[in-house]
Structures are given as structure tokens and as C-alpha cells.
Amino acid sequence: MSRTKVLLVGATGETGGSIASGLLKNPTFEIHALVRPRSALKPAIVALQERGVQIRKCDLKAPEEELVEVLSGIDIVISCIGSADQQDQIPLASAAKKAGVKRFVPCAFLTVAPVGGIMWLRDEKELVYNHIKQLHLPYTIIDVGLWYQLSYPRLESGRVDYALTAANNEIVGDGNTPIAITDLRDIGCYVARIILDDRTLNKMVLAYNTVMTQNQIFDLLEEISEETITRNHVTEELVQNRVLASRQASETYPFDPIKFIPRYLAEYQLSWGIRGDNTPEYAKYLGYLSSKDLYPDFTPIDYREYLETVVKGTAKGIYTDRTISKAHQRMFPRTESTDSLQSRMFPRTESSDSLYMTR
Ligand SMILES: NC(=O)c1ccc[n+]([C@@H]2O[C@H](COP(=O)([O-])OP(=O)(O)OC[C@H]3O[C@@H](n4cnc5c(N)ncnc54)[C@H](OP(=O)(O)O)[C@@H]3O)[C@@H](O)[C@H]2O)c1
């Protein structure tokens, strides 16, 4: 039987790494990674090759004929490119249509949020989805809730700093808003099922592990760590003011991570913390299928078990390849919620490349 040829875009990233691992568990897939030439020698790419992933080199900004050629024979395209590069998927989708790709999975992998003025990132993604639909290209949109890896606060002892990207020590509103959360490592396992499933063609899917409130998360981490965590409540008014200020500051292009990170953070807090968008119920209302209905046999990684590994010091940190210099850290506007951990939060884009220290 011939294998399903999948092309993964963004395989060196956090989401892409999870998806590569999820697909590699199923021999049905022949996995190809589309890599921009400048990244072809990265250790992460070499490691993927050693695990059986085939590399196709091409820049997403290459002429369409090159993109069509690089997509030849591919059944499914999965894109998980970084937040700042969403529009680079537009020529890729056009080329996929010409190359006869049977399913295009654009870079969603976000929390649940409505379109139109709540989250800039959600709206950027919608432009891509709309383009796909205008092409009449078969698609599946997969959102995942908030990663476990971004969901919990810092401990004052500092012993979970190794795994964090930000202090995360704010409780939005009263802290009782339910949030759908998912272990980053499970995303690839969900994707491997979803892309072979006819029920998910031309549909949106919410793949999530569990639902927690911030108060429950803080309680659980206090219980596991036996440390008290200070609860810094931020009001709706403060979140709204941050959203307004960061939107005003980030109106200029090209993408500038120094300006956009505060906007991401504020708009996330607005959406999942104040509005309560990131729930399975709201996802259903918006028309999503649910992983719980589609795959009742799926056993996700347990949140408590994950937090236990974090406290033990054995969890894998995220964005650990993106340390930026102290001088650049000082350029970042500090808020009550930020500390030096945030140096790993910058998206890796051409415009942010100069920020990173070589490691
Ligand atoms: N739900 C959540 O809690 C959550 C959290 C974080 C992110 N996300 C979502 O996940 C998506 C992926 O984010 P991530 O943090 O996993 O990404 P990431 O780690 O920043 O990785 C981005 C990947 O995209 C590649 N890439 C970027 N621009 C490209 C281009 N023009 N051509 C080819 N490849 C390009 C990078 O390749 P190189 O190696 O060449 O740089 C890298 O492999 C984001 O859009 C965001 O919506 C969700």
C-alpha cells in the first residue's frame, strides 16, 4: 500500500517538532519537511533526517513554479510556521492547489477565539484560511487550546524557570475562567489522526486535553511544589488598557517583535482570560468538531503528571534555542508580568534574527 506523503512546513519549530514526532509514530506517513535554504544545516533538521524525514529545500517566498515543484507528489501539507510569518502561507496554498494537494492544514494551532478584532494573530490566520477557501483547496483547521507548557506560573524558588518562557504570575480577572489546555507533545498525535480522517475534511477541529481555570492551576502547582504562589490579580480594565496601548504601539510594519510581543500577551489575556473564548463549548458554538467526540479512545498526557515533571526538573523547556542578549532584553517594555524569562518569547523571524545570540 502506498504511503501518505505529508509535507511539514516549520518542522524545526515547537509545534512542528511535535507534529514530526506524532507522524513518525505512524508508518503510514512518508514525511517530508520543507526547509528554507538558510536553515537546511540546522541541527534540528539533521536530527529529523536521521529519524527518516526527507528534506525539500525551498523558500516560501520563491517563485510559484518552484513551490509547485517542491510540492509535487505531496498528499497533505501541514504548516506550523511562526506567528509573524503567517502570510507566507498564501503563495504556498496557491502552489498546493496547482500541485493537486489533497488536504492543506494551515497554521492554526491557536487557542479558540473569534475572528475580527480580538486577536491580531487570529485575524492574520483568517486571511490565510479565506485564501484557501477561495481556491477551493481542501483543508482542515486545527486549534489546540493553550499549551500546558505556557499555562502555569513561576515558583518563587526559581526551580521551574528552566521550563518557562515567562513568569505567567498574573491571574486574569477572578481566575475562574475555564481554559482548554493541551500538552504540546500531544499535538502531533492528534494531528496524525485528524489528517487521515474524512470527517475532518473542510472542518475546524479543537484538539484539547483538558479544561482548567487559573485558580485550579495555581492550586495544583502549590500542592505539588509545596510552595505558596503569590496571586497577582489583573482586572479587566487593566487588560483592556494594555490591549489598547499595545495595539497603538504595534500599528507599524514590518513586524517588530519588540512591539508585537506585548500585544500578543495582552490579546491572549483578553481572549482566554476576560472573554472566556478558549473553551470547548465556545468552540462548538463556532462550528468546531471536538477531539473528545472524534477520538474518545485518545489518552492525553495528564496535566498533574506534566506539572510533577516540571517541579522535579525533568520537563523539556520550550523555545530554549532563542536566548537574546541582555541589551536586547532591556529594549523590551517591562510590565508587572514580565521578567528575564521573556527573552525566549520572541518569534524567530527574519526581522528578529539579529536579536538572537549565537549558541
Ligand atoms: N496554542 C498555544 O498555546 C500556542 C503557543 C505558541 C504558538 N502557537 C501557535 O503555533 C504556531 C507555530 O508557533 P511555534 O511557536 O511552534 O513556531 P516556532 O517554534 O517559532 O517555529 C516556527 C517555524 O516556522 C519556520 N518558518 C518561519 N518562517 C518561515 C518561512 N518564511 N519559510 C519557511 N519556514 C518558516 C521556522 O523555520 P526556521 O528553522 O527556518 O526558522 C520554524 O521551523 C504559531 O503560529 C502560533 O499560532 C500556539
Element (H, E) at 212: strand 210-212
Least reliable range by pLDDT among 160-164, 227-231, 334-338: 334-338
> For a pLDDT cut of 90, what percent of the chain falls above it?
77
- 239-257 per-position pLDDT tens digit: 999 999 999 988 766 677 7
Question: Mean pLDDT across the stretch 279-283?
Answer: 98
Q: Which atom of ligand 1 is nearest to the CA of 83?
A: 45
Residue located nearest, by CA, to atom 18 of ligand 1? 13
Q: How is residue 152 annotated by DSSP?
A: S
Q: What is the pLDDT of residue 283?
A: 98
Higher-pLDDT residue of 343 and 22 is 22
Whether the per-residue pLDDT at 357 is higher than 50: the answer is no
Residue 259 cell numbers, joined? 512591539
Whether the per-residue pLDDT at 286 is higher than 70: the answer is yes
Whether the per-residue pLDDT at 84 is higher than 90: the answer is no
The verdict on whether 326 is a catalytic residue reads no
- The residue among 331, 327, 324, 326 whose CA lies nearest residue 346 is 324
Give the strand pairing for 179-182 and 210-212. Answer: antiparallel
- The residue among 111, 192, 154, 117 whose CA lies nearest residue 341 is 154
Could you tell me the CA-to-CA distances from 354 to 85, 322, 324 in Å, in that order?
16, 11, 9
Residue located nearest, by CA, to atom 23 of ligand 1? 10
Least reliable range by pLDDT among 131-135, 244-248, 342-346: 342-346
- Beta carbon of 131 within 6 Å of any ligand 1 atom: no
State the helix-helix crossing angle for 120-135 and 257-268, rounded to 10 degrees.
Answer: 90
Least reliable range by pLDDT among 156-165, 214-223, 307-316: 156-165
Whether the per-residue pLDDT at 315 is higher than 60: the answer is yes
Question: Mean pLDDT across the stretch 49-66?
Answer: 96
Whether the per-residue pLDDT at 34 is higher than 60: the answer is yes
Q: Which atom of ligand 1 is nearest to the CA of 348?
A: 20
User: Up-side HSE of residue 181: CA atoms within 13 Å toward CB?
Assistant: 23
Q: What is the pLDDT of residue 250?
A: 85
**Which residue(s) pair with 232 in the sheet?**
170
Q: Which atom of ligand 1 is nearest to the CA of 11?
A: 43
Residue located nearest, by CA, to atom 13 of ligand 1? 82
Distance 159 CA to ligand 1 centre (A): 27
pTM: 0.93
Whether the per-residue pLDDT at 327 is higher than 90: the answer is no
Whether the per-residue pLDDT at 26 is higher than 60: the answer is yes
- 87-98 per-position pLDDT tens digit: 999 999 999 999
- 160-202 per-position pLDDT tens digit: 999 988 888 899 999 999 999 999 999 999 999 999 999 999 9
> Pocket of ligand 1, candidates 81, 110, 321: which has the most ligand atoms within 8 Å of its Cβ, to mutate?
81
Q: What is the pLDDT of residue 289?
A: 98
Question: Mean pLDDT across the stretch 106-122?
Answer: 97
Q: How confident is the model at residue 39 (pLDDT cuts 50, 70, 90)?
A: confident
Residue located nearest, by CA, to atom 44 of ligand 1? 83
Higher-pLDDT residue of 352 and 150 is 150
DSSP for 46-83, please give it: HHHHHTTPEEEE--TTS-HHHHHHHTTT-SEEEE---G
> Pocket of ligand 1, candidates 9, 19, 36: which has the most ligand atoms within 8 Å of its Cβ, to mutate?
36
User: Cα–Cα distance between 313 and 333 in angstroms, integer?
Assistant: 30
Q: What is the pLDDT of residue 323?
A: 60
Whether the per-residue pLDDT at 341 is higher than 50: the answer is no
When the pLDDT of each residue in the chain is averaged and rounded to a whole number, the result is 90
Catalytic residue among 5, 97, 98, 125: 125
Residue 272 cell numbers, joined? 482566554
